[in-house]
Structure 1
């Protein structure tokens, strides 16, 4: 291989560094209008009346729209379909959209907002998921405020605890995390004379947006065009919620018959857009004196907010992974996604796993402390490996590089020599080292398998240039570069002549959502499916031209057969001369996975990425400050299609995980976020990250992946927080069981 496995320059690099890339707010139209959103002023209200007359009188206001103006269905199409585009009779969280104001300028639209008169009755609210689960709690959803529950039952949990020599039980909590993308949510919609509409915007999943716009307008999807503009960060935050923003923008454009732009302010984005779910996790774990874990029991609760959105699927992933990358015979897990009167939570890099992993990897260290055993030794005694089973009973048959990753990370970090029991530390400034591991089911898994497919269209033009159409998006992760490399490798084409079609639902097949670290495997395989057919046709023409039979080898822009060669470009021209079909469709879907909701058993995912992280910290026990000295992050990703991009993903995940662990703290008062900007909500800056982030890549090939590749996007964040928490305990002897680990928690010990 000459292209796959090499660090090619990103396809989008030049446009972004030169400023040529156009974000949605860069799109201009002569007769454009601007929309703003009127929102609920309280966390739970009954709407008695809304008076928009004074707002409509303001010069420059074109319209004020409520749910009554929606020609289609007033539901965002996602999982439960319980979230209205615009509130009807009640609002369930502060900031829930009620009405849309459209005007000739943003300033006029915002002025009109203040003239809307809302008469309402305040209703009882509940903000804690554990309180919401009580019988006498205010009802937000159903009879019990529980959107979804899952369970896992493996082995005999009572027997497992009886066999244990040591049993401990702990409770852990995690807070929200904000995506902190640089570009806030934004959309532009414009109508056409034929009654169709085009939506441009910052998004991860154009076909989700297509569904939403069709729903709210009540028009066929064939009359809607959705185009992803250059997207300034996402991390899951532009998976489901852009459907709301797009629906609002499209509605305003449809009703005014003019282009409409809707761009959120930073505060508005904080207040109303999805976040990482806060989590409450109780774990009971038992082990023999020799370190073999005999049983684990988990209760996992996610604070879903006012509407379900993606919470059921987030909960499921967290449930499946809640016992960690360990071979444990007896498992009992109960999990709950619970409604509260707060902003709905949704997708965020890791998708329910960082919460569970923080708890699981913390209690593993706590168990090691009770056993007077090295945390590394305890983990090694219980790791998953080929021939072992996950908590759901999934037998691991191939591509399990966990041991290799751990061995390499602990070697480069010198973990075993640096780790010492915390009680031996003295002085105000103390240093420590911590370890954490994780595994990550690639793709959407059994609960999302109806979306687990991908289409691709590949066309080779007469001049040799290649256009690849897939339904995925580029949001900074380098997906289009990786997919280009895969196509170029198969075809034998120079990397420079292969390009990806911009995401446009009228030009691309549906390849499923760009989520769950699935793009390389799913769309990569769909591209391979199409390219193999094209390459077979090219090879036949090459053999005919060169007058020899045998295997055709491609290298450096040439095809070689038995010592003879022809350039890629000449071969393509000959294919056209011979009237060979030079465009092809590709498709890929996975077989399985499976999950039995009654028992929690099944092959939950088609493969797993395995990770190990080590943090070295310096703790000031008087001030409570934590400095990350060095961070080590290792991953078995099957095959690094582009090593530099893989390293970038890993480094970025480490930094985002450091923020989750130490800094990022959402504070609410009666359901309202009061830290709704980057002055109050702290994310890591260059001063807060270690100068040395050591990346380790292990390639334990997955036979069904493109050139053996697995997913990478999300694993680099998952185990960061527990590695840091374990390092803090190792340094200062203080076990912090909630995130973020703020300075006051260290000083005053929770």
Structure 2
């Protein structure tokens, strides 16, 4: 009785509902110190001096650390190593960590923070993409202000535009976006024997954190133990930056010999954690009268903030997807991520794609309008299918469900009928319906080839219960549940008998980072490999017990039976008992390496991802023409993710992604004053969607099976947010005739543009 494809109960549901889940801030050790950070009040400046003398005299203060106290390397190991754990000579953004205080109480730590005196020599700031790329812009780093550039060259763009019946050019802008996870970043570091350290904390990638702690302390990896606590949301925001917090907590614990807890306030988290990259994107698109694309030319910039962190691979992913999920023979894309004196940007759900997809799907709608083609139809005309090529020349060989997502979302939303009905609205309240399509390369692909592997350790106990150890983290997405379902079906046992071991670097193999919608396919395949090995061993035992060849035995629902006569059977438990009597080793490690991917930086061509997922969103809105307020009425979201291991979890991911997309489209934006200080670093001033803003969400699951995935699954977590904003903006255009090219579409912006049109 297979559990794959069924909405079984979440493994962690009961603990969370009953309040039994233990987050890092719930933890306490005897003799524990509390840490607080000293953050820069200068946006860009040279550090002249740091005076901690008054702060050290505060009763209860045990240790204050600055960069000079670091015994190892003062660089967080993320892609390009340019971000320090503690600013040394220069601060490059407001809120950059300069020192940390460890004290007996939080009150003492906070008092000491106020008394640390830092003298700066202010430097000329760079606060926007436009300022950063000026010829004589101040240099933020010695190498200049370009963190990284990539390009795509395919076909002959000049010829493609000459063949076009219509050419449109537009410029688009998108803002910062805050992750808004419910639990702020937090770490608890505890000294261990033989000069080691244990760090408990909220994170997505424990082995990234392990490397960071080893770097700052200058100790080997085997002396750094990382334990993931229950993590209250991540969305990419706990991929890169936890290494910074863990490193500083570990430094204090290492130097004091006492446990140290560092939990950020919401404002501290806002000031210091990574964000979604703002963007400036220029698109030129050519098409024939029938809507067929002939050429696409893109120049796009991402604001990476003060440090590179994950920006190069965020930009690379955006580059690969910049032309959308469409056929086009002639493509030229130039992408650059630049430095500014604003907070560093990094991983965020969608990972560089929401920016370019907003721009590209706006272009598709503009083409449809000018050519008088239905917006859904122009997407059908150009949609990729099996056998087509991406902009990088990759041939799509299997599992391409884009057309089905278009058809199902259009049909379910009653697209044609509602377009006609909504076009009759002439009063102050006007409705509109818009569409967008997108795709997403699963896992890290050629942009992160060294991480394209995963390990899993599976052990069957004497009572036939099963332990699974993987480095894949649970952060609310339901990973423990999905991997349990895969294990249960792979062994033919009950879902309830599977236990996923908590992530602890001394107990689990490195399964790679839990990012990029990779966990299901990568760790799922590693688990299946381990289960295959175990079933081979058990098959010999069952064969001898039943006197039937193992090739005709079926393992299902805690039983092993003869395929031709199911009444001839054994219980799974009896086979395990016999295996233990025979000293059969029932523990093994599985391993999975992703199919090979490539990317040529000179041509921008290559086999960039081993598979893709696809989606189409249809958004319905109501616009108040007298105020500019946009209300999202409904979003119909169709997603091809291969096999849905747990449909309820998939629907939950769609609902969450749509809500985040509504925020990105309409209300979310970080604001800065002229000096570069963030002025809305909390949820009273940085507005995110609430239940009042949430639309009716109609999720549609499309299953184009991926033959190399576990039970046909591909991956999913990132996709639901990507196409939401352009669908909403296209619906606003349908309602008002006004084309918005900058996010968020606030009432003030929209009302202003409506007024200009009048």
TM-score by length of 1: 0.99
Residues of 2 paired with 1:458 and 1:321: CA distance? 37
What are the equivalent positions in structure 2 for 1:577-616 lying under 5 Å apart? Answer: 577-616=581-620
Residue 650 (structure 2) pairs with residue 649 (structure 1): no
Bigger CA drift: 30-39 or 330-339?
30-39
Question: What secondary structure sits across from 2:255 in the alignment?
Answer: helix
CA–CA separation in structure 2 for the residues paired with 1:74 and 1:496: 46
Task: Please tell me whether residue 680 in structure 1 is matched to residue 685 in structure 2.
Answer: yes
Contact 2:434-2:731 at 8 Å conserved across structures: yes
Q: How does 1:474-493 map to 2 (within 5 A)?
A: 474-493=474-493
Query: Are residues 1:104 and 2:88 paired?
Result: no
CA-to-aligned-CA distance 1:280-318 (integer Å, 9 cap, x gap): 111000101111110000011000000000000000000
- In 1: Cα distance, 2:581 partner to 2:91 partner: 65
Structure 1 Cα separation of the partners of residues 596 and 514 of structure 2: 20
- Conservation of the 8 A alpha-carbon contact between 1:453 and 1:588: yes
Kept in 2: contact 1:425–1:732 (CA 8 A): no
Change (3 A) 1:295 1:420: farther
Is 1:714–2:718 an aligned residue pair? yes
Deviation at 1:570, TM superposition (A): 1.5
Quote the offset at 1:663 in angstroms: 1.3
Number of the residue aligned with 1:559: 560
| Cα distance, 1:420–1:138 mapped onto 2, change above 3 Å | farther
Q: Which residue of 1 aligns with 2:406?
A: 406
Aligned partner of residue 673 in structure 1, secondary structure: coil
CA contact (8 A) 2:491 2:556 kept: no
Q: Deviation of residue 536 (structure 1)?
A: 2.0
Q: Matches of 2:144 and 2:727 in 1, distance apart?
A: 36
Please give the alpha-carbon distance, in whole angstroms, between the structure 2 residues aligned to 1:644 and 1:421: 33
Question: Displacement, 1:135?
Answer: 1.4
Q: CA deviation at 1:626?
A: 1.3
Give the gaps of 5 or more residues in structure 1.
none
Structure 1 residue 706: Cα displacement: 0.4
Measure the CA separation in 2 of the matches of 1:149 and 1:377. Answer: 34
User: Which residues of 2 match residues 243-322 of structure 1 at below 5 A?
Assistant: 243-322=243-322
Secondary structure in structure 2 of the residue aligned to 1:114? helix
Give the distance between the partners of 2:649 and 2:218, measured in 1 at CA: 41
Q: Which moved more, 1:597-606 or 1:138-147?
A: 138-147
Instruction: Please report how far the alpha carbon of residue 417 of structure 1 lies from its aligned counterpart in structure 2 after TM superposition.
Output: 2.4
CA contact (8 A) 1:422 1:732 kept: no
Instruction: Give the alignment partner of residue 736 of structure 1, picking from 731, 740, 744.
Output: 740
Cα distance in 2 for partners of 1:6, 1:722 equals 32
Offset, 1:679 = 0.6
Structure 2 distance, partners of 1:611, 1:191, is: 48
Q: Shift in Å at residue 30 of structure 1? A: 1.7
CA separation in 1, counterparts of 2:120 and 2:329?
A: 55
> 1: distance between equivalents of 2:596 and 2:509?
22
Question: Matches of 2:524 and 2:268 in 1, distance apart?
Answer: 37
CA contact 1:282–1:300 (8 Å) conserved in 2:
yes
Cα offset, 1:174, TM superposition: 0.4
The residue aligned with 1:705 is 709
- Mapped partners of 2:533, 2:651: distance in 1: 32
In the alignment, which residue of structure 2 is the partner of 1:27?
Answer: 27
SS of match in other structure, 2:552? coil
- Is the 1:593–1:604 Cα contact (8 Å) retained in structure 2? yes
1:42 Cα shift? Answer: 1.2
Q: Output the CA distance in 2 between the equivalents of 1:101 and 1:695.
A: 48
Cα displacement string for residues 220-273 of structure 1 (whole angstroms, at most 9, x for unaligned residues): 110110000000111000000000000000000000000000010001111111
Aligned-partner Cα distance in 2 for 1:228–1:339: 32
Task: State the shift of 1:425 in Å.
Answer: 4.1
- SS of corresponding position for 1:337: strand
Structure 2 counterparts to residues 629-640 of structure 1, below 5 A: 629-640=633-644
Deviates more, 1:218-227 or 1:532-541: 532-541
Tell whether the 8 Å contact from 1:175 to 1:739 is kept in structure 2 after alignment.
Answer: yes
Q: Which residue of 2 aligns with 1:367?
A: 367
Q: 1:567, 1:498 → 2: CA distance?
A: 17
Residues 275-674 of structure 1 mapped to structure 2, 5 A cutoff: 275-420=275-420, 425-549=425-549, 550-561=551-562, 562-563=565-566, 564-669=568-673, 670-674=675-679
Corresponding residue pairs, total? 749
**Conserved? CA contact 2:538–2:576, under 8 Å:** yes
Which residue in 2 is equivalent to 1:693? 697
Aligned partners of 2:390, 2:662: CA distance in 1, in Å?
A: 28
Contact 1:423–1:733 (8 Å) recurs in 2: no
2:457–2:469 CA contact under 8 A, matched in 1: yes
C-alpha contact (below 8 Å) 2:489/2:556 kept by paired residues: no
Residues 672-709 of structure 1 deviation map (CA, whole Å, 9 limit, x = unaligned)? 1111110111111111101x211111111111100110
Provide the C-alpha distance between the structure 1 equivalents of 2:369 and 2:575, rounded to a whole number of angstroms: 66
SS in 2 for 1:668: coil
563-572 or 538-547: bigger deviation: 538-547
Counterpart contact for 2:71–2:216, Cα < 8 Å: yes
1:421 Cα deviation from its structure 2 partner: 10
Worse-superposed segment, 148-157 or 418-427 = 418-427
Distance 1:122 1:593 in 2: 46
User: Post-superposition shift, 1:422?
Assistant: 8.3
Secondary structure of 2:36's aligned partner? strand
Aligned residue for 2:219? 219
Instruction: Give the drift of 1:129.
Output: 1.1
Mapped contact 1:133–1:144 kept (Cα < 8 A) = no
CA displacement 1:361-420 (0-9 Å, x = unmatched): 011101111111111111111111111111111111110011111111111111122224
Alpha-carbon distance in 2 for matches of 1:308, 1:511: 25
Q: Distance in 2 between matches of 1:420 and 1:594?
A: 46
1:138-177 map, 5 Å: 138-177=138-177
The structural deviation recorded for 1:733 is 1.1
Query: Is residue 141–residue 147 contact of structure 1 (8 Å, CA) maintained in 2?
Result: no
Deviations 1:408-454 (A, max 9, x none): 11111111222249876411100110000000000001010111100
